[in-house]
Structure 1
């Protein structure tokens, strides 16, 4: 009982005197006075780092935006001309520029703000070695886990930067083919021939055949009778090409004069004349249809008839010997022939006759 009362008396808080409070205030003021310059220095460094980072980020992003706008103005200046056909249309150039600008702005922001964050941590006297080591290990783990995503992203970046294809192009990507309707950093959307939409991962594309860049070739086969005058046919087709090159809009879609290459095939009752023309990319099919239309009308007006493909299968069947598929008669079919008797199986031996028992 005595010890409990003593412990209770010792645990009661002692009244704080004025001298103790003054001493505590003096110590706190001295500590603040000793460290305020350090705090002010660190705060000013952090503020300066943030200001420089935001200003640099704004200037870099603005420079990238100006560059993209200049690229779009250049594309608009040549759109609708023959030079514009050699390059790309405005919509494709705009989307490609927007994608490149988005990637560049994201990379610039990440690098600038990341560097600013590391500098702020260094100003706060924080050891960055464990943090960088942990970030490296986490980066390796994420890289192994999301390697397909990283592959798709990097492939998409290089496809856009190298201008391998764009919106409106007809491409063959190996896994799918069709018209490009959207180009992304991870997935490319294609519109197939039957209207279906293909989502192709950029990392899965091993080869790309672009049918809409540079120039295209329109090829037309004209089949006439074998007794027609070839010089007259050539003259008529050449005149059709000259007249077509003067009309709208074929004067811009035809980049070279229509050329008669010569005979592509000769049959018993007909011959095929090959006609070719270099056109604007993506316009070869329309040029072929118009060229066939004009050539047919011109040849009919000149009294030259077009013929269809010869019935090659029927000709081959008629020319062949009907008995060619029948095998020659074999001597083995006659059972009385020596060959048939020699090839006959050996008969089994006759069973031995029973002998009478021997009597003793």
Structure 2
């Protein structure tokens, strides 16, 4: 069984306490220096693997810290905020920070307590978002293999400093154990011990204790501040702000770089902060993003050879969005139900073909008398 701690629900695979300081980078640098010295004495030429060259080309952690501070300061300024939190909840869109930057922000004491807490919440939110779609598919298919594979992929994609931590290793080992168990019992949730982050996620999602994204109110306020700044900059340069990409006399205001949640807050405009023109521009940008997502789902399904893949991709994409984002982009519950029905009917047909002839392909041929 998994014990849930409300204060640090994901401490089973990561510790983002206020006093935690990253020390993996200095250790790695010292190890690399010692290794380099030994190599120089032992050989005159060394051929590095691609992985080794990639590791050497990575920025040092001090540079990551400096860039993170600069990026966070810019985000706060753009949103007109002094803290990324509001009433203990995320109030700033941190999606532009990469995983190493988030880990730096969560773990280094040069950042304020609010900033470290916000980074920890964003890291947890990203992990939950990465599992939301696969978890929805697991509930439909009764197969947890994809969910544990998604967790492994996510954890493996984190930065080297985070992967060097004992918390990460404990979580990754638990996921590895989970993957072993689902090979023989794909329909059962693995019992991989108290460090299993997937089991924690499933428990938290059942109780509704997952991390809430920044509210629509906060996102709308941030977007309003950013737009006003862009307008002021355009006017300071003697140009009129315009949402016309082909403008030759004004300054094009490009909202396509806004996050989907920020665009959703503009489209819904719950507090009446935006003009019709701004809402129209946000809706066009959001529809472009959702269209690209659907196209990617279709292309991925076409390559997979699995007749149920497209419906599974739709289920995953739908589940990964918040209710507000689904409303803004026009993804109704009917879309989800249709995808579910498509999956169920396709699976039933495949089962019938398999029973008739051994597998879906030969079964269909047998039914046709070929």
Instruction: Return the TM-score normalized by structure 2.
Output: 0.19
More helix per residue: 1 or 2? 2
**Structure possessing the higher radius of gyration over alpha carbons:** 1
More strand per residue: 1 or 2? 1
Q: Which has the higher contact order (CA 8 A, sep 6+)?
A: 2
